[in-house]
Amino acid sequence: MPQCKFFRECRSNAVIQIPHTKMALCKDHFLRYIENRVKKNIEDNHLIDFQNPKEKVLVAISGGKDSQTLLTILHKALQGRVALEALYIEVGITPRNYSYDSAIIARSLCEKLGVPFHILNVKEHLGFTIDDIHQLGTYIKKGKRNRKRNNYRGECSYCGLLKRYYINYFAVKHNFTKVATGHNLTDEASQLLSNFFSIDIELMSRAGPITLRDVEGLIPRIKPLYYIYETELIMYAYFAKVEHLPTECEYATDSPVISVKKSLEKIESFRRGSMMNMVRDFQKNLKPILAETITEDHQIVKKCSQCGMTTYLDMCSFCTTTNRLKEQMKQFHILEE
Ligand code: Q46
Ligand code: ZN
Ligand code: ZN
């Protein structure tokens, strides 16, 4: 590796080469470089309103590399200028002690940084866990012929739905103004390309470092790591010694987006900067055109007839889905009648 190129006076040996600029950096300057890029994203895209005294940011933390690194960088970037708190959603995954260990690691980072830590237990709110959903899936898969009729979508799909719902629920209840998530550039490029393959223009038009819909009951989501490659985050976590859970969830399955991600990583290896160019150019050139043609104004905002949360339907997709799951669990005696 050559010498660090951050400052002329830095004579340290470089430890990493930045994927899209090929700039070689030493450890300390690499950490600073990533933190500066996150700050730039926050400022350029107005992710956080530093002038608003009521601005309050909630980080959805899972104990995994992405959210632990997000909280570490965000805590540094904000320097106490706005309120920052963390929420761990306990979805109830017992194999490999996954949920238990994740919560310990997430809490430990919050204590180290002095960030208020909250836990929301899904079982207490909903009456069942992801373990129960997994058991339901096992029964449904055994009777394969009924599989289609039962419409089982896989643990991760339900897990994602529960987390999204309860994060927003918690944020609304406790007056948070932004929810920060750990999505990085590699995730965004993969999602963008997947949406392009299925020509899902509506989803593409929503891509970006912030979801901006001024709707009461839907807290805007911000992605401070939007322009940081996954490989850079792995290196950041390593050099900054960010503690995170090394174990993978037993229910993790390869989604179609994962195969797109692998292909993009391959392209990136011989065309450096491809993902960055794709996401940046999309935001700059294509998104404004899509945003003009696709307006969500036709969607009438309502309150869910069951839970009262904001939705565009009579009953929100969380209530529809969890009602169906409850019924199915009763049929299989996973839940009491
Ligand atoms: S926790 Fe939940 Fe992940 Fe496990 S069930 Fe899938 S989504 S893999 S981050
Ligand atoms: Zn240096
Ligand atoms: Zn609802």
Q: What secondary structure does DSSP assign to 115-169, as a single string?
A: --EEEEEHHHHHS--HHHHHHHHHHHHHSGGGHHHHT---HHHHHHHHHHHHHHH
Binding site membership of 189 for ligand 1 (Cβ less than 6 Å): no
Q: Which pLDDT belongs to residue 150? A: 63
Confirm whether 250 is domain-assigned: yes
Q: Is the CB of 251 under 6 A from ligand 1?
A: yes
Expressed in angstroms and rounded, the spacing between residue 314 Cα and the centre of ligand 3 is 9
Distance (Å, whole) CA 222 – CA 91: 23
Task: Kindly state whether residue 65 falls inside one of the protein's structural domains.
Answer: yes
Token couple for 313 = 């339907």
Q: Kindly give the distance from the C-alpha atom of residue 9 to the centroid of ligand 2, in angstroms, as a whole number.
A: 8
Give the residue carrying structure tokens 């070689």.
24
Task: Give residues whose Cβ lies within 5 Å of ion ligand 3.
Answer: 304, 306-307, 316, 319
Query: CB of 160 closer than 6 A to ligand 1?
Result: yes
Structural domain contains residue 29: no
d(CA 332, CA 329): 5
Q: What is the domain-level CATH number for residue 183?
A: 3.40.50.620
Would you say 41 and 74 are in contact if contact means Cβ atoms under 8 Å apart?
no
**Token digits for 201?**
């223009």
Task: Look at the chain and report how many structural domains it folds into.
Answer: 1
**Does 18 reside within a domain?**
no
Question: How confident is the chain (337 residues) per 10-residue block, as mean pLDDT?
Answer: 81 87 91 96 96 97 95 96 98 96 98 98 97 94 63 91 98 97 95 88 86 84 96 96 93 84 93 94 90 68 94 94 95 89
Please give the distance, rounded to the nearest whole angstrom, from the Cα atom of residue 180 to the centre of ligand 3.
Answer: 22
Helix axes 185-197, 274-281, angle to 10 degrees: 70
Q: What is the pLDDT of residue 42?
A: 97
CA 122/CA 56 separation, integer angstroms: 23
DSSP lists the bridge partners of residue 87 as 60, 118
Secondary structure (3-state) at 19 = coil
Centroid of chain to Cα 19: 22
Distance 163 CA to ligand 1 centre (A): 10
Whether residue 117 has its Cβ less than 6 Å from ligand 1: no
Q: What's the pTM?
A: 0.92
Report strand pairing: 83-90 vs 56-60: parallel
Tell me whether residue 219 is in a domain.
yes
Cα gap 294→298, rounded to integer Å: 10
Residue 307 lies in a domain: no
Question: Residue holding tokens 């339900």?
Answer: 158
Please, how many CA atoms are within 13 Å of residue 135, restricted to the half-sphere of its CB?
A: 18
Based on C-alpha coordinates, what's the Rg of the chain?
Answer: 21
Please give the number of the atom of ligand 1 that sits closest to the Cα of 156. Answer: 6
Best residue among 100, 138, 159 to mutate for probing ligand 1, ranked by most atoms within 8 Å of CB: 159
The secondary structure element, H or E, covering residue 327 is: helix 317-331
DSSP state of 265: H
- Looking at the CA of residue 62, tell me the nearest atom of ligand 1: 9
User: How far is ligand 2, taken at its centre, from the CA of residue 227, in Å?
Assistant: 21
Distance 320 CA to ligand 3 centre (A): 7
Question: Is 328 contained in some domain?
Answer: no
- What range defines the domain where residue 85 resides? 44-280
CA distance 184 to 28: 21
Whether 310 maps to a domain, the answer reads no
Q: CA–CA separation, 21 vs 63, rounded Å? A: 30
130 lines ligand 1 (CB under 6 A): yes
Ligand 1, closest atom to CA 159?
A: 2
User: What atom in ligand 1 is closest to the CA of residue 130?
Assistant: 5
Asked if residues 148 and 41 have their Cβ atoms less than 8 Å apart, the reply is no
Q: For position 189, what pLDDT does the model report?
A: 95
